């Protein structure tokens, strides 16, 4: 996928850029999709993805996981890019694939239904800078990029559609060597409804100490 740049006609695609767009909840920057992984509350898909960078640094994972917004989780991660696992560029696609599977498994009635509403159309994240995870506008109005996130979402949509009635989407252990969260291997994720996930998180005491750094 990493070397396969594609060109898209936005009129024939589901395109999202902002989280408030019709399909903005497909973005990792969308709030309202907390995750429960290894018994730990992760506030967003973006935070979980960024934690994959630092399996050997639980201190950084704590800092990232407890950010209240996906963007601040991403910004926290950027401060420590020098500490990313050495094979990050090789495993990041698989890491993102697993994070999206967890989001689907725990928010099928919301995120899952939105995925299905995209129909058969290509899904594209519109970006003005990132032609790897998204696609950038060209002078002719088309979009060009690897669009890795959009393609992973379309892959997940097609898998979800193939499930038989009553069958839950599953997120087994990630196919990422040495994937750890706070020192423990990442295991399979039990499917839950959005309501069950939210109730569990609301009932949980804060996992980490409050952030007094002044950051959001």
- 49 falls within a domain: no
Give this prediction's pTM.
0.87
- Note down the domain range covering 115: 1-17+107-166
- 4 falls within a domain: yes
pLDDT, tens digit, for every residue of 45-61? Answer: 999 999 999 999 999 99
- 3 falls within a domain: yes
- 137 falls within a domain: yes
- 65 falls within a domain: no
- 92 falls within a domain: no
Best mean pLDDT range from 38-47, 117-126, 193-202, 203-212: 117-126
Place of tokens 């040495």: 178
- 60 falls within a domain: no
pLDDT, tens digit, for every residue of 53-101? Answer: 999 999 999 999 989 999 999 999 999 999 999 999 999 999 999 999 9
DSSP assignments along the chain, one per residue: -TT--EEE-GGGSEEE-STTSTTGGGSTT-SS--EEETTEEES-HHHHHHHTT-TT-HHHHHHHHT-SSHHHHHHHHHTTGGGS-TTHHHHHHHHHHHHHHHHHHH-IIIIIHHHHHTTTS-EEEB-SS-TTTSBEE-TTS-EEE--HHHHHHHHHHHHHHTSPTTPPP-B-S-SSTT-EETTEE---B----HHHHHHHHHHSPPSS----SS--
Number of structural domains, the chain?
1
């Amino acid at each position: 996928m990493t070397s396969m740049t594609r060109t898209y006609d936005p009129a024939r695609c589901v395109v999202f850029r902002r989280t408030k767009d019709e399909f903005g909840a497909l973005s990792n920057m969308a709030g309202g999709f907390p995750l429960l992984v290894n018994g730990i509350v992760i506030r967003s898909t973006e935070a979980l993805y960024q934690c994959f960078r630092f399996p050997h640094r639980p201190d950084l994972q704590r800092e990232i996981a407890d950010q209240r917004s996906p963007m601040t989780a991403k910004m926290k991660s950027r401060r420590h890019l020098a500490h990313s696992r050495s094979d990050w560029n090789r495993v990041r696609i698989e890491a993102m694939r697993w994070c999206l599977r967890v989001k689907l498994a725990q928010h099928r009635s919301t995120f899952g239904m939105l995925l299905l509403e995209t129909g058969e159309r290509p899904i594209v994240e519109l970006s003005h800078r990132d032609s790897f995870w998204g696609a950038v506008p060209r002078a002719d109005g088309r979009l060009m990029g690897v669009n890795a996130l959009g393609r992973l979402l379309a892959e997940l949509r097609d898998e979800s559609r193939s499930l038989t009635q009553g069958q839950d989407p599953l997120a087994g252990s990630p196919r990422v060597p040495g994937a750890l969260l706070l020192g423990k291997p990442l295991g399979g994720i039990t499917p839950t409804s959005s309501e069950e996930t939210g109730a569990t998180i609301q009932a949980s005491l804060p996992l980490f100490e409050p952030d007094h750094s002044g950051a959001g």
